[in-house]
Amino acid sequence: MMDRVFYTKGHGTSNDFVILPDPDGELELTPALVAALCDRRRGIGGDGVLRVVRAAKHPSSVELAADAEWFMDYWNSDGSIAEMCGNGVRVFARYLVENGLATPGPAGLPVATRAGIMHAVVQGDIISVRMTTPRVYAASTATVGALTVPGIAVDCGNPHLVCGLHDGVALGGLDLTTAPVVDKALFGAGVNVEFVEPAGDLEGRDRHVTMRVHERGSGETMSCGTGALAVGAVALREAGLTSGSVAVDVLGGRLVITCDDEGAWWLAGPAVLVASGEVDVAALAL
């Protein structure tokens, strides 16, 4: 059993992560340890954990090692594993670059995830990630208290349900302290649920919306990159556009989703590292 573990804390639009450097895949990471690290009172606090491990050293990424040196081993704060985390990739890329572990090339910095390889481009404070193409695939609903809202299921490597609010329902009034009720047959592995309302016109953007999200495995968070991608895909589709850019305001700031003329989907926003230190693993259990 490890006694002490090094960590860095970082966030992207306040979606916050405990980053664990583990280049050779030696950490005994368990759901209980992840949940203890993410505990906001007894641990460091975070919406999830990003383990930084060489792709060649982790069974989930060994096949991607020829094309990406590093694997983002992402865990939700409840100790469950997810395929992908958009803000996580942005923060992960910031960590690699600031620690001299990688240098972005002309095609960006490849990061292996359980949903495949993403490419991150660093431009000062902003980190953009080329994401997988979002797949809009079904109509469904989400129920919050007495309110049932129609939604559209979108696969972004991980599952999402995008629900547009209508009829004067205020986004700020939703109680997301518990998970929205969804169709368990459609979302057998759980789902991240985004609630969206239109925001005012914004110069340079085709659409501008405000979003709140209840994340599978983490509860309501201040931001979700794959959630913003799902929302951006639905917004462009509803506008009849095959390319364009959508500003998605979240509780923690602004993300921008772009589908370029080549059909590539991008997630952009700030990503920062705020602290580093050592955790006493035994004390986490007390």
Active site residues: 85, 224
Residue 82 makes contact with ligand LBFN2T5F by CB under 6 A = yes
Q: How far is CA 48 from CA 123, 216, 229, in A?
A: 25, 11, 19
Report in angstroms how near the CB of residue 77 gets to ligand LBFN2T5F at its nearest: 9
Q: Which CB atom, from 2 or from 138, has the smaller least distance to ligand LBFN2T5F?
A: 138
Answer for which of 69, 215, 220, 249 binds ligand LBFN2T5F (CB under 6 A) is 215
Residue 269 makes contact with ligand LBFN2T5F by CB under 6 A = no
Residue 5 makes contact with ligand LBFN2T5F by CB under 6 A = no
**Residues touching ligand LBFN2T5F: how many (CB under 6 A)?**
17
Identify the CA nearest to 248 among candidates 232, 259, 260. 232
Identify the CA nearest to 26 among candidates 6, 42, 8, 12. 6
Question: Is 99 annotated in some ligand binding site?
Answer: no
Query: What angle do the packed helices 86-98 and 225-238 form, to 10 degrees?
Result: 130
234/160 Cα distance (integer angstroms): 11
Report in angstroms how near the CB of residue 82 gets to ligand LBFN2T5F at its nearest: 3
The percent of the chain in helix, strand and coil, each rounded to the nearest 5, is 15, 45, 40
Q: Which CB atom, from 69 or from 83, has the smaller least distance to ligand LBFN2T5F?
A: 83
Residue 212 makes contact with ligand LBFN2T5F by CB under 6 A = no
- Return the structure tokens found at 267: 């997630």
Identify each DSSP E strand in 158-284 by its residue range. Answer: 159-164, 181-182, 192-198, 207-215, 219-221, 244-250, 253-259, 265-270, 272-280
Answer for which of 85, 112, 152, 162 binds ligand LBFN2T5F (CB under 6 A) is 85
Interaction with ligand LBFN2T5F in 225-254: which residues (CB under 6 A)? 225-226
Report in angstroms how near the CB of residue 49 gets to ligand LBFN2T5F at its nearest: 11
Q: Are the CB atoms for 221 and 152 separated by under 8 Å?
A: no
Cross-strand partners of 76: 48
Residue 25 makes contact with ligand LBFN2T5F by CB under 6 A = no
How many residues can be counted in the chain? 286
Residue 77 makes contact with ligand LBFN2T5F by CB under 6 A = no
Report in angstroms how near the CB of residue 215 gets to ligand LBFN2T5F at its nearest: 4
Question: Is 41 annotated in some ligand binding site?
Answer: no
Q: Are the CB atoms for 259 and 243 separated by under 8 Å?
A: yes
Task: Count the Cβ atoms, other than its own, within 10 Å of residue 78.
Answer: 15
Which residues would be at the binding site for ligand LBFN2T5F (CB under 6 A)? 15, 76, 82, 85-88, 158, 192, 215-218, 221, 224-226
Annotated binding site: 15, 76, 86-87, 158, 192, 215-216, 225-226
Annotated binding site for substrate, which residues?
15, 76, 86-87, 158, 192, 215-216, 225-226
